[in-house]
A and B are shown apart, each in its own frame.
Chain A
Amino acid sequence: MSASNEEKSSLLRRVWNGFRRPTARYAMGTLLVGGFFAGILFWGGFNWSLELTNTEAFCITCHEMEANVYREYKETVHYSNRTGVRATCPDCHVPKTWVHKIARKIKASNELLHHFLGTIDTREKYEAKRLQLAKNVWKVMKETDSRECRNCHNFEYMDFVVQEKRSRNRHEEAIDKGMTCIECHKGIAHELPAGIVGMEGIPNVGNPNLGN
């Protein structure tokens, strides 16, 4: 074996060997306690930075969100209402449970890609894509039985007595049929997309002269 070859592998080898070899210098207790606190630091840091990406302020740093969906949402009851309770972007669009949250965060890398590709960087491009984007969200919400809605809204705790008659009848019907929130409550926080005429699950509220 030549000297240069040995030098090349030496650094990797030393790290690997150091990793494998039992330590003779530090006590077991030092390693355990040190590892414990380092673990807290790393896990805390990981979760802290994860939660930073889970805020409305973070969401609207992308102008695609700020100039379109955020401004529409500001007009709705989930932004401003009598009691001042709010549902921000991640409350509806990021799951609360850890496994689902991490899965959603990994999927969000696709959104980063399209941000840098400029797929929806103008209002016109956004409107052209809105139907597809909305369908994606509706599909996921239906599959999860509107899990994010149900973090706050729950059939079990709805007082049908104080609901309007129209709402009461529809909600009771929904329970009987095992329907989920998103099947009726589309376009509540953002504008409806063009081209929803004749789409299954949506009453015909779309403009027949657009899309299709």
Chain B
Amino acid sequence: MKTWIKVTAAGIAVFAIAVLGNTGVSAQEGVKSLRGDATLSEGQAAADINAQQVGKRFTRNYRQQPPLIPHKTEKYEIDLKANQCLGCHDWPQNVEANAPKISETHYVSPTGVRLNRVSGSRWFCNQCHVPQAQIEALVPNTFTSSSDMN
């Protein structure tokens, strides 16, 4: 008898979870992907590529922001073998190229050892630094700059 009750209870629980799970999914339908409303099998025109602002440098929005890049970068190779950004931005080439020098913090290994070359943990510049473009935030948010917090 007790086993019968247990089995029934388990069955009801499974059913309830399944129903609740389904409602959870249907509640998420209001969230759109960057492709818009198109289903997986549908084609959707790509969004325009953001026009990059070349030349004048944007100011930073907050103190810790990685500086934005005021030129195109897609033709520069950054991989395991080479990093062409260093050709102009690493010391001492930056002097002749008249390019901003990579911050000294990038020459310190994760364990705190000062190095003569860019640290491996800082190798992939475009993890933090991106070409600048005047665009709207992809997702609305309430970000406030640290300098405006006081």
Of all A-B residue pairs in the complex, the 7 with the closest CB atoms, nearest first, are A192-B82, A203-B87, A194-B81, A208-B117, A205-B87, A205-B86, A205-B82
Q: Is the CB of A192 within 8 A of B77?
A: yes
**A residues adjacent to B (C-beta < 8 A):** 76-77, 166, 187, 191-194, 196, 203-210
Instruction: Give A210's nearest chain B residue, CB to CB.
Output: B81
Instruction: Give A77's nearest chain B residue, CB to CB.
Output: B75
Closest Cβ–Cβ distance, residue A46 to chain B (whole Å): 40
Bound CA span A209–B87, Å: 17
Instruction: Give B81's nearest chain A residue, CB to CB.
Output: A194
Bound CA span A194–B81, Å: 5
Q: List 8 A-B contacts (CB under 8 A).
A: A187-B84, A192-B77, A193-B81, A204-B90, A205-B85, A205-B87, A207-B81, A210-B80
Bound CA span A48–B79, Å: 41
List residues of chain B with CB within 8 A of the CB of A209: 120
Question: A76-B75, A192-B77 are known contacts. Are A207 and B93 too (CB-CB below 8 A)?
Answer: no
Bound CA span A138–B81, Å: 18
Closest Cβ–Cβ distance, residue B116 to chain A (whole Å): 8
List residues of chain B with CB within 8 A of the CB of A191: 77, 79, 81-82
Q: Is the CB of A203 within 8 A of B93?
A: yes
Closest Cβ–Cβ distance, residue A125 to chain B (whole Å): 15
List residues of chain B with CB within 8 A of the CB of A208: 117
Closest Cβ–Cβ distance, residue B80 to chain A (whole Å): 6
List residues of chain A with CB within 8 A of the CB of B123: 207
In the complex, B83 has a CB within 8 A of chain A: yes
List residues of chain A with CB within 8 A of the CB of B84: 187, 192, 205
In the complex, B12 has a CB within 8 A of chain A: no
Bound CA span A206–B77, Å: 10
Q: How many residues of B contact A (CB 8 A)?
A: 19
Closest Cβ–Cβ distance, residue A156 to chain B (whole Å): 25
Instruction: Give B93's nearest chain A residue, CB to CB.
Output: A203
**B residues adjacent to A (C-beta < 8 A):** 75, 77, 79-88, 90, 93, 97-98, 117, 120, 123
Chain A at the B interface: mostly helix, strand, loop or mixed? loop
Bound CA span A12–B97, Å: 72
Closest Cβ–Cβ distance, residue A50 to chain B (whole Å): 34
Which of B77, B80, B86, B123 has the largest count of A CB atoms less than 10 A from its CB?
A: B77
List residues of chain A with CB within 8 A of the CB of B90: 204-205
Q: Is the CB of B75 within 8 A of A192?
A: no
Bound CA span A196–B81, Å: 9
Question: A204-B86, A209-B120 are known contacts. Are A194 and B80 too (CB-CB below 8 A)?
Answer: yes
List residues of chain B with CB within 8 A of the CB of A207: 80-83, 123
Bound CA span A209–B81, Å: 9
Bound CA span A208–B120, Å: 9
A sample of 13 more A-B contacts (CB under 8 A), given A194-B81, A203-B86, A207-B123, is: A76-B75, A187-B84, A192-B84, A194-B82, A203-B88, A203-B93, A204-B117, A205-B85, A206-B81, A207-B80, A207-B82, A207-B83, A209-B120
Bound CA span A166–B88, Å: 11
Bound CA span A187–B86, Å: 14
Bound CA span A52–B117, Å: 47
Bound CA span A134–B64, Å: 40
List residues of chain A with CB within 8 A of the CB of B77: 187, 191-192
Bound CA span A194–B117, Å: 16
